[in-house]
Amino acid sequence: MLTRLRRITRSALLFLQALLLAACSQASQPSMAVPGSVVSLVPPPGFTPAPNFSGFVSEDGRASILVAELPAEASSAVSGLFVDEPAARSRFASQGVQVDRLESLSIEGRTAPVVIGSQAAHGYTFGKWISLFSGSPTVMITIQAPRDHALTHQQAMQALATVTLRPQVTLEEKIAAIPFSIKPASPFRLLDSLSGSAVALTAGELDTDPEGRQPLIVVASQLSLPFASNDPQKVSDQLIAGSVRIQGGTITSRENVPFGGITGHRVDGVTPDGRHYRHYLALWPGERFVRLVAILPADSSKEVEDAVEATAASVRFREP
């Protein structure tokens, strides 16, 4: 009897030791701050800070965690995506995401909804976990990985459960974290960075301009090419066709020009509502690309047009 009791006790102790080791292993993984954002989290094993966007990327480069801070005017609209499963299925379907279910996490007394689904792209099906963290600013975090990736549902949810939000960072800190440098030419000024891989600029007093009365510039970069082509003209046309404010417009001219430190491609055109746009693209086959989109009121001055050209000329990728 005594021997049996000792065996039971030893087994229980070994089980407790295993639990303790597992807990210590989980706790020993440090929370990592996302540069240029208010977010910190504990990424899944094998994930490291991404060099070209706000978030993390897996060692094999196939899975990612994207952190996007939303402007105040977009927060309420995005929150509507997470109200319930029917709303999530309907709204995310327009973005090509098939929603399986809607779950939630309780983090430090707050509830964060998590849309769980999948998306087909580039010949693969990606699992997606999309979560919204309300605050100032509101943050949306997207985890995605191919279905055959080692990342599990449990690991994705555990990473989201570790999210904490710090006090809002300065615009200077956000700009310093993007993978390229840019010098706005007067009268343009920086508005904000987007997802650690893009910046928005405007010329005028308004920070929010839904009617498009002020000149607007958006510069964005990406590590992988969005389309199966290395032809700058073809890629430019595809990017323009997918850009809401300029798609469906009329192209008036195109030419190869210096941009991003290499030979780029510029397209000038008129939007469906009569504004002018200028689209610059520089791409490095198999590596990365950067684009600049300027949308100008029809009566914009030559000073503004020259400022767009000067701003475009300043764009350079930062050295690693």
pLDDT digits (tens, 9 = 90+) for 50-82: 887 889 999 998 999 999 887 766 677 788 889
Task: Label residue 19 by pLDDT band (50, 70, 90).
Answer: very low
Phi-psi region at 102: left, alpha or beta (left = phi > 0; alpha = psi -120 to 50): beta
Q: Is 276 a residue whose pLDDT tops 50?
A: yes
Q: Is 219 a residue whose pLDDT tops 60?
A: yes
What are the backbone angles phi and psi of residue 42, rounded to the nearest 5°? -100, 105
* Residue 223, pLDDT score: 67
Contact status, residue 158 vs residue 293, Cβ threshold 8 Å = no
Contact status, residue 139 vs residue 167, Cβ threshold 8 Å = no
18's enclosing H/E stretch is: helix 2-28
Contact status, residue 78 vs residue 70, Cβ threshold 8 Å = yes
Contacts of 198 (CB under 8 A, 6+ apart): 178, 218, 219, 220, 221
* Residue 7, pLDDT score: 41
- pLDDT, the chain, mean: 84
Contact status, residue 93 vs residue 119, Cβ threshold 8 Å = no
* Residue 209, pLDDT score: 80
* Residue 8, pLDDT score: 30
- Pick from 3-12, 134-143, 276-285: least confident: 3-12
- Pick from 56-70, 141-155, 211-225: least confident: 211-225
Q: What sign does the CA torsion over 74, 80, 83, 87 have?
A: negative
CA atoms within 13 A on the CB side of 132: 18
Most confident of 22-26, 67-71, 271-275: 271-275
Entry pTM = 0.62
Three-state DSSP class for 220? strand
Task: Label residue 224 by pLDDT band (50, 70, 90).
Answer: low
* Residue 299, pLDDT score: 92
- Pick from 21-30, 64-73, 160-169, 289-298: least confident: 21-30
Q: Is 320 a residue whose pLDDT tops 50?
A: yes
Q: What integer is the mean pLDDT of 244-251?
A: 91
* Residue 35, pLDDT score: 81
d(CA 287, CA 298): 36
d(CA 58, CA 61): 5
Closest CA to 144 of 163, 121, 158, 128: 128
* Residue 231, pLDDT score: 87
Q: What integer is the mean pLDDT of 31-38?
A: 86
* Residue 210, pLDDT score: 76
Residue 294: C-alpha distances to residues 100, 214, 235, 262, 297 (Å): 38, 11, 17, 19, 10
Q: Is 4 a residue whose pLDDT tops 80?
A: no
Phi-psi region at 214: left, alpha or beta (left = phi > 0; alpha = psi -120 to 50): beta
